[in-house]
Amino acid sequence: MKNSINLQDVFLNKVRKENIAITIYLSNGYQIRGNVKGFDNYTIILESEGKQQLIYKHAILTMNPIRNINFGNTNPRNNTVE
């Protein structure tokens, strides 16, 4: 069985662990900027302006970090960046 990397999880874990703010663009035209506090397969918890919001991933078009992220070497065994 081939190991694959879930880039979405790697990206979200990186911005969460390094406390990098992101801008989330939603399908209804809204933009939300904040820090990822947690996520699962269907949702992201974003803290913005002192409040937490639960955002459904199916409503997200794009996510942009405020700075570039160094992914380094990606380890497919545990979906992490080394």
Number of domains forming the structure of the chain: 1
Residue 27 reports pLDDT greater than 90? yes
Tokens of 44: 């992201």
> Which CATH number fits the domain that encloses residue 21?
2.30.30.100
Is 75 among the domain residues? no
Is 76 among the domain residues? no
Residue 79 reports pLDDT greater than 90? no
Indicate whether this model's pTM tops 0.85. Answer: no
Residue 76 reports pLDDT greater than 60? no
Tokens of 9: 């999880």
pLDDT, tens digit, 9 for 90 and up, residues 46-66:
999 999 999 999 999 999 999
Question: Distance between CA atoms of 15 and 64, rounded to whole angstroms?
Answer: 10
Residue range of the domain that includes 29: 7-67
Residue 38 reports pLDDT greater than 70? yes
DSSP letter at 53 equals: E
Residues in the chain: 82
